[in-house]
Structure 1
Amino acid sequence: MSMTSRQLQRYPLRDAVAREALCLDGSVPQYYYLQGNTTSQNSKVVLYFMHGGFCGRTLQECVELSMPYYSTISLPPTVDGYHLLSPFESEN
């Protein structure tokens, strides 16, 4: 598989505002997706949570951690999945 075919596209989390499921800075959560090999019998999904988790014990700790890791404002529209996944199907 070539590197250009491994570009993951960014998508916003649907209904995030209605569900009050926002990032610490109020931005809508995003995820990256790349359609895998649909002919394989061993379909797999990879979830990668970058810098997610508990923000701290106080409001100040959450504010300090909110940029840039707990924000989606500066995420690029696509990312190269080359370093997230192996180019060998059997390893993913």
Structure 2
Amino acid sequence: MTSAERQARFRAAHADGSPKIRYRRPGDRRSRPARWRDAVAELVTLQNEYQEWLDGLPDNLAESAAAEALRSICGLDLSELESVEPPRGFGRH
């Protein structure tokens, strides 16, 4: 789309004079350690879901590429990530 076409589309959209409301997502107010814990919890949840998916695969798909990928994901040891407590930041204990 050319600049002239974009400008014409913009003018047509705003021709009625009504204000256009744009919503902004609020910023993430969680601390980095909280975001870390939430991310690790999400990974563990996903790994459990993938394990259920792997357990439910029919026998004819047991040697497929999807099954191999699922086994790779399920084979990851996430316990080390769960035990890590990131630093809270400068000057905090």
Tell me which interval the TM-score lies in, with the shorter structure as reference length: under 0.3
Q: Which has the larger radius of gyration?
A: 2
Q: Which has the higher strand share?
A: 1
Q: Which has the higher helix share?
A: 2
- TM-score when normalising by structure 2: 0.27
